[in-house]
Amino acid sequence: MTTQPRNPEQGFKALATLFACLLLTAGPGTMAQESPGAHEYRADGETTIETINGLRVITLRENVFVRQDDVELTGDMAVLEYNAANELQQVQLTGEPANFEQAGNADAEPLTGHSETINYYAGAEATVEFIGTARFNQPGTTLACERIRYVIESGATTGQACSGSLTPQ
């Protein structure tokens, strides 16, 4: 048996082909893992970016969409505020209505809500405020209030001038 000398170029090509195949077979979620707090936004209308009192402020108009982690907000206009470290601090969303959706667990329905104005506060204790003809739905509970406050991490919900319904779970 005779051995052929190895060709380094062929080895490199084989390794490159294997790597390309692995990238192609990996799902899109595998290639672009987002870090917690990652977000995106878009709008059909005008977008302005300015600095006000040390905050970076982005204003989006017409058919806006804002997503952070598993929270999605849609409406007519959004104002996003970032701190000096370029971290999202707050989103104020208005619309007719402004909409909120948070993906539920694997087999649970999403949490949804809408109102005239939604204030979303990012950070360690992310909170959503629904202001003006507010409605909030979570599995087993529906609230209709003038104002609703929902703490994402704990699930605590409070409201003012409310009516609602509970269903067995």
The predicted pLDDT at position 8 comes to: 47
pTM of the model: 0.75
pLDDT of residue 96: 94
| Main-chain dihedrals φ then ψ at residue 62, nearest 5 degrees | 70, 115
Strands (E) in the chain, as ranges, are 39-42, 47-52, 55-68, 71-82, 88-102, 111-121, 127-138, 141-151, 157-160, 163-166
The whole-number average pLDDT for the span 51-73 is 95
Closest C-alpha to 138, from 120, 124, 156: 156
Residues 67 and 39: their CA atoms lie apart, in Å, by 5
| Per-residue pLDDT, 36 | 55
Write down all domains in the chain, each with its CATH number in brackets.
39-166 (2.60.450.10)
Q: How confident is the model at residue 139 (pLDDT cuts 50, 70, 90)?
A: confident
Q: What is the pLDDT of residues 83-103, one digit of tens each?
A: 999 899 999 999 999 999 999
Q: How confident is the model at residue 140 (pLDDT cuts 50, 70, 90)?
A: confident
For the segment 141-157, what is each residue's pLDDT rounded down to a tens digit?
999 999 999 999 999 99
2 phi and psi angles, rounded to 5 deg: -105, 145
8-state DSSP, 44: S
Please give the pLDDT value at position 109: 87
